[in-house]
Structure 1
Amino acid sequence: MKLQQLRYIWEVSRNDLNISAAALALYTSQPGVSKQIRLLEDELELEIFTRNGKHLTKVTPAGKQVLKLAGEILNKVDGIKKISRDHKSPTQGTLSIATTHTQARYFLPDVIKDFIRRYPDVTLNMVQGSTSQITQAVVERDVDFTLITEEMEPRNDLVVLPCYRYSRVVLVPKGHPLSQLAEVSLDHLAGYPLLTHVFNNADAAGVTTLGKAFEKRGLKPKIVFSAVNADVIKAYVRAGLGVAVVSNLAYSDDKDSDLVSISVPHLFDSYLASLVVRKSSYLRGYMYDFIEGLAPHLTRQVVDEVMSLPSPEAQVEYFINIDIPTY
């Protein structure tokens, strides 16, 4: 068994069993990938993939177990390489982060600015997407960290580090009837066309907390427009399409002075932004510093202690008595 063969089956699984796409990602030939997969299956005396002619159709039950271990092995190999780089060039390297548009646009710029000033020779890469997309990115080793703002299903192979809380606001044009109320209710909101982030979709990470609030009240909001980008949502509020429910981070007194921000902490639970890391990851020194710059309570000692815990439930319990900052 060769490490190269494990890389091949891992990359094929990541590319929807498309050998051509995997070969392209691996900078090798399609026949070479197919041959190595066959050699590995022959050595193991089991099929990792089922086939229809020359095409792979699905991963076998045994193949799923093999792929899980292959991912762990490749992650460990990556960790060994990081140890080497940490000793040779502790202030040089790369850092890849996946997050939502709101965090990338409104919260992270100051954090990243401070980090780059401290580590000018570290290249940062950022990927934006939905909660399910960015969670998958860290699972598949495409990024080092994922910063999520919605609940996700507990996974034994991931570590979730609570970073900070923030709230939602309702945005309306100046003079809007909602801006005249002493207190806005969900019933009020349900009476207007609503603009918001991608709403109540079939996201593998679960139904949004915003959707749950309306469902609990037995209301069905009139969603007329949804988008990932808060700036786009604000543009459509300005165009008169409806009222918006967005993060308070997305509103600026200066840049959004033509809109009215209505605080509604009584309507919705606060968001909890959390950093997600693969449990088996080796974190380089500058990665610890990035985490602490993002959330000062997440010191190197805290991160190491949480990553050593045996279960997601133990991770949650660890933070029960730790104050999480609110913005």
Structure 2
Amino acid sequence: MNLQQFRFVRETIRRDFNLTDAARHLFTSQPGVSKGILEFEDELGVQIFERHGKRIKGLTKPGQAVAQVVDRIMREIDNLKKVSDEFARRDEGSLVIACTHTQARYVLPKVIPAFRQLFPKVHLSLAEGNPPQLAQMVLQEQADIAIATESLALTPGLETLPCYVWEHTVVVPPDHPLVELSRKKGFSLTLEHLAAYPIVTYDRAFSGRRSVDKAFDGKGIEPDIVLEAIDADVIKTYVDVGMGIGIIAGVAFEPARDTNLVSLPAGHLFGEQTTRIAIKSGVFLRDYVYTFISLLAPELDPEQVRDQVERSQEE
């Protein structure tokens, strides 16, 4: 058996058992991948993949165990390369950050310039998606870290760290009735107030949407959500054209820029949300990744982060 066969098996699984797609990503031929896998199965004496004719449909029971071992071996091979780079090219390399639009647009611009000053030779890439997609990017090692609110802490195979806490805000035009109400002494925004208007908010996979739905469900209120979007800029745009009131992450409202809107804090309605940083368990991290994490979440102790990551590598 050899590393090439391990790569064939791992990539076939990652590409949903599509040999053509696996071959394309490995820059080789589909027959070569198929032959390598068959030879690997012959050498092991077990069938790794379930087949229907020539098509691979999934993993056999022994194949599931083999896949875990292969993934562990390939992860350690990748770790060796990273260890080598850490000492041979300490301040050079790449960092792929998987994040939502909110992180890319409103949070990372405060972090990336500072990181670039410290590590000008590190190539940075942003890969945007919804939280489940971000988790898969890290698990498949297409990204080094992921930053999101939903899903990450619930995803097996990821180590997560709290990054920052935020609350929702409601955005409305300056002449909206809720603005006038908010100026009255003793006024407190309620779910009933919000339910009286059409609502524009996040898609169900994003930015604390689960908390929004849970709050309304708890009161037995069915909100009139007329549009779901994947980022706050789109939500604010449709609020501005009069489609409804918006519910967005508080970090996505910028008073200096969003002069056409008014923000009404809604943390008391939907609770605090925790954005988390995720890395793949057992993966070696370059020193500059720890630096990036410390810039993103200064309240995290760098040594405690390193200890938690290293413990995950040993497990």
Match in the other structure for 2:274: 272
Question: Which stretch shifts more, 216-225 or 84-93?
Answer: 216-225
* 1:23-102 matches, cutoff 5 A: 23-102=23-102
Please state if 1:248 is matched with 2:253: no
* 1:305-320 matches, cutoff 5 A: 305-309=307-311
* 1:210-221 matches, cutoff 5 A: 210-221=212-223
Runs of 4+ in structure 1 displaced over 4 angstroms? Answer: 308-311
Shift of 1:207: 7.0
Q: Which whole-Å CA distance do the structure 2 matches of 1:64 and 1:212 have between them?
A: 36
Paired residue secondary structure (1:58): strand
Letter in 2 for 1:185: T
Match in the other structure for 1:301: 303
Shift of 1:64: 2.0
Q: Which whole-Å CA distance do the structure 2 matches of 1:261 and 1:57 have between them?
A: 51
Please state if 1:222 is matched with 2:227: no
| TM-score, scaled relative to structure 2 | 0.93
Match in the other structure for 1:260: 262
Identity %: 39
Please state if 1:158 is matched with 2:158: yes
Match in the other structure for 1:287: 289
Shift of 1:299: 3.2
Match in the other structure for 2:237: 235
Shift of 1:93: 0.1
Higher RCO, Cα 8 Å, sep 6+:
1
- In the alignment, structure 1 segments of 5+ residues that lack a partner are 312-327
Q: Which whole-Å CA distance do the structure 2 matches of 1:22 and 1:31 have between them?
A: 11
Shift of 1:300: 2.9
Shift of 1:62: 2.1
Contact kept, 8 Å, 2:153 with 2:159, in 1: the verdict is no
Count of residues paired in the alignment: 308
Q: Which whole-Å CA distance do the structure 2 matches of 1:275 and 1:104 have between them?
A: 14
Q: Which whole-Å CA distance do the structure 2 matches of 1:26 and 1:289 have between them?
A: 32
Q: Give the CA RMSD over aligned residues.
A: 1.9
* 1:4-15 matches, cutoff 5 A: 4-15=4-15
| TM-score, scaled relative to structure 1 | 0.89
Change (3 A) 1:281 1:49: same
Letter in 2 for 1:42: D
Contact kept, 8 Å, 1:138 with 1:278, in 2: the verdict is yes
Paired residue secondary structure (2:247): strand
